[in-house]
Structure 1
Amino acid sequence: MKNLSWLNKIAFFFNIILMILTFVAYLLPFLAPKMFPFLSVLTLILPLMLILNVVFVFYWGIQLKKQVLLSAVVLLIGITFFNKFYKFSGKDLIVEDNDFTVMSYNVRLFNVFEWMSKQNIPEDIADFIASQHPDILCIQEYSTSVKIDLKAYKYKYILMQGDNIRTGQAIFSKFPMIDKGEIDFPNSDNNVIFADIKMRRDTIRVYSIHLQSTKISPDINEKIDEAKSKKIFRRMSEAFAEQQVQSELIKEHKTDCQYPIIVCGDMNNSAFSYVYRNIKGNMKDAFEEAGEGFGKTYDFEFYPTRIDYILVDKDFEVKNFKNFDNFVNSDHFPITTRLMLKPEE
């Protein structure tokens, strides 16, 4: 420390702070948000902290300083976290007859309140879905007030709720639905719907989930003062605590299912959170299995946010995953995966 210049001493101080915060973020997926609601916000910026640790490794490394070990150890311990926010390569796609495709998309009510100035959004979304022709389609923030052509799907389950603003969820399928239902969340407009789908000789269960929103606008031009910052953190902390309850209801509901499960939808939380870990359990994240790049699913400028997921049981082989972050017709981007149900051994 004595041999460091004043600039390096300042850098070393911030490096120590970063190291502590990163280790805390590593532990948060294992701690219920109700215990530390304020700290849970750190899970949203863990990717940024990992990148900053990489910067410090280069900073100390080019100077041949032993302080390089600080961030190097942090990165080594958290190496398994990298696949959750960046994949260097996907999978070579091999299409087989038993494959099927799944799409999940939060459509933000098809822009019924004209949040976006763009015209013909419902038609654009319908055309996009038709171009991808997924076998199973899960839509969050669905609206029946907008007429959208999805005639390719013979089977569907749509659930609408709300008084002043009616919003809902929908599952569309090219395969027959033999059962369907919902998981009602207490004191919330959000919920989960599910459908048991008879697919050839097998039956699978598909959940479409939409967890509690943080209700934070991503407008970077908005002035944020101290009072605004406190309000944002309070809202996020409260939302994460509610999401904990919702994730536990989903986890409990899944245990009673005898079929292979697919979970699609908008968690409104990162892949480093307790909520994600609680719902995922021993399932596979389709992005981690076959995605590429950041897997960005939310239209937040300058930060590759991934809060929409497709999770599948180990009975499925994930053959492909895509996020369409160039298709801007909602505040979320559609995601798709190609799956194959493994034959029973």
Structure 2
Amino acid sequence: MKIFRLIILILHLGTLFLLLGSLLNAYIPPKIFPWFNLLSLGFPLLMSLYIILIFFWIFSWKKRAFLFMFIGLIFINPVKRWVNFSSEKKENSNPIKIVSFNIKAGTMGKEEVLSYLKAQHADVILTQEDGGISYPSLKDYNRTTSNGLLTILSKHKISNEKVIFSEDESVWLPSALQADIEIKGKMYRFIDVYLYPFQFEKEMIKLDGNTDANEQKVKGIVKKLIPTFKKHQDQVKQIRKAIDSSPYPVIVAGDFNSVPNSYEYYHVSEGLEDAFLLTGKGSGTSFHDYKFPIRIDYVFLSKSLTPISYVVDRSVSISDHYPVISEVSLSEK
């Protein structure tokens, strides 16, 4: 029994160090050491294992359970970025409604997507992977010039739109689209984000009983992940320039193709508020094509703005992403 407990202790300590490694993404970029970013993808599994092992020590009547519980407190916020239960926010008489949605070019139902967006009556809509569609049912909205990937639509006046590209020449896709929008006499900078995709097919991540085949799949996944992390670092750098140079309060939303506690999450959200962390309830999972909790869609705000609500709308499955809907008070703190 002592040998078994020793093995469990080593496993628990190893899990703890891996969890701590995922937090180092706030400091160490992928081009220096990409493996920490890889750990962020497995955070839900690692955290679940960590908690299970705490219960093992509790049922074993071992005092080390309290030590692991105490150390585990440092992961409260990292966990809340995946699953959160925030308190009710005070009602705001006149918030604006923001919808962010990767619509997958309408391939799962273009008319359904357009009808859904129209029914939201949102003040600002940010879409990703829109395939350059013309949004015929949203003609009463002002919109940015199509670039075949990102679009910002607004009931309010749009100006100074700009496509943000990466410095990395191997990234041919726009990193983001910025537009300044005048709402109630004040200007706000909206940034619609779409970081380089991992381009996985379901079969690539579906493991079976064939050990050799599974090993090759895992190697193939890692070969795609590491270069993509490095591409993201260049994209994040350009997005940060747009945020830091803004003379107005900023709202950043979109498909980051990156999970919480990743390098991308930490560095795009730096100095901003995560609307889900402040107002979200339940799971933040927004990508539902795989049977694994993946939150990759976000809404970040300048600290001078106040999020009122954040909802991942799971009532529709018209894309491989769920729409993210947030209400924001523009009354500066």
CA–CA distance in structure 1, aligned partners of residues 181 and 330 of structure 2: 13
Q: CA deviation at 1:306?
A: 0.6
Please state whether the residue corresponding to 1:253 is helix, strand or coil. helix
Instruction: Return closer, same or farther for 1:48/1:29 CA change in 2, 3 Å cut-off.
Output: farther
1:45 aligns with 2:42: yes
Residue 297 (structure 2) pairs with residue 316 (structure 1): no
Aligned 8 A contact 1:297 1:334 in 2: yes
Q: Partner residue of 2:180?
A: 196
Aligned match for 2:261, one of 272, 283, 288: 272
How do 1:1-345 and structure 2 match up within 5 A?
A: 4-69=1-66, 71-92=68-89, 94-97=91-94, 99-111=95-107, 121-144=109-132, 148-153=136-141, 155-160=142-147, 167-185=148-166, 186-187=168-169, 188-191=171-174, 192-219=176-203, 221=206, 223=208, 225-343=214-332
Moved more, 80-89 or 192-201: 80-89
Encode CA deviations 1:162-218: one digit per residue, 9 max, x unaligned.
xxxxx3110000001122111122332322111111111101010101011122234
C-alpha distance 10-324 of structure 1, shift in aligned 2 (>3 A): same
Partner amino acid, structure 2, of 1:288: L
How well do the aligned residues superpose, as a CA RMSD in angstroms? 2.0
Q: Quick one: distance in 2 between partners of 1:48 and 1:30?
A: 23
Residues of 2 paired with 1:240 and 1:39: CA distance?
10
Could you list the structure 1 runs, at least 4 aligned residues long, displaced by more than 6 angstroms after superposition.
none
Give the direction of change, closer, same or farther, for the CA distance of 1:146–1:342 in structure 2 (3 Å limit): closer
CA 1:221–1:37 in structure 2 vs 1: closer, same or farther (change >3 Å)?
closer
CA distance in 2, matches of 1:301, 1:210: 19
Distance between the aligned counterparts of 1:208 and 1:145, measured in 2?
16
Shift of 1:230: 0.9
For 1:12 and 1:262, locate their aligned partners in 2 and report how far apart those are by CA, in whole Å: 44
Q: Which amino acid aligns with 1:183?
A: I
CA deviations on 1:108-159 (whole Å, 9 max, x unpaired) are: 1111xxxx5xxxx111112221222111000000123576522241x10033
SS at match of 1:268: coil
CA distance in structure 1 between the partners assigned to 2:281 and 2:223 by the alignment: 34
Alignment partners' CA distance in 2, 1:242 and 1:137: 26
Is the contact between residue 103 and residue 336 of structure 1 (CA under 8 Å) also seen in structure 2?
yes
Q: String of CA shifts for 1:302-341, please: whole Å, max 9, x gaps.
A: 3221111111101211001100134211111110110111
Q: Please state whether the residue corresponding to 2:145 is helix, strand or coil.
A: strand
Equivalent pairs counted in the alignment come to 325
Cα separation, 1, equivalents of 2:53 and 2:136: 50
Structure 1 range deviating more: 313-322 or 212-221: 212-221
SS in 1 for 2:146: strand
For the residue of structure 1 that corresponds to 2:283, the secondary structure is coil
In structure 2, the partner of 1:163 is none
Deviation at 1:93? 5.8
Structure 2 contact 118–137 (Cα < 8 Å) conserved? no
Q: 3-state DSSP class of the match of 1:142? A: coil
- Match for 1:339: what amino acid? V
Output the amino acid matched with 2:58: G
Whole-Å separation in 1 of the counterparts to 2:207 and 2:134: 31
Displacement after TM superposition at 1:279 (Å): 1.0
What are the superposed Cα offsets for residues 264-298 of structure 1, whole Å, 9 maximum, x if unpaired? 11111112011111111110011111111111110
Letter in 1 for 2:143: K
Secondary structure at the residue paired with 1:105?
strand
Aligned-pair CA distance for 1:79: 2.2
SS, match of residue 149 in structure 1: helix
Alignment partner of 2:247: what SS? coil
Partner Cα separation in structure 2 for residue 147 and residue 92 of structure 1: 33
Report the structure, 1 or 2, having the larger helix content.
2
Are the aligned partners of 1:122 and 1:146 in contact in 2 as well (CA < 8 Å)?
no
CA distance in structure 1 between the aligned counterparts of 2:7 and 2:235, rounded to whole angstroms: 43
Displacement, 1:42? 0.4
> How much has 1:89 moved relative to structure 2?
3.6
Between the aligned residues of both structures, percent identity stands at 24
- The one-letter code of the counterpart of 2:154 is S
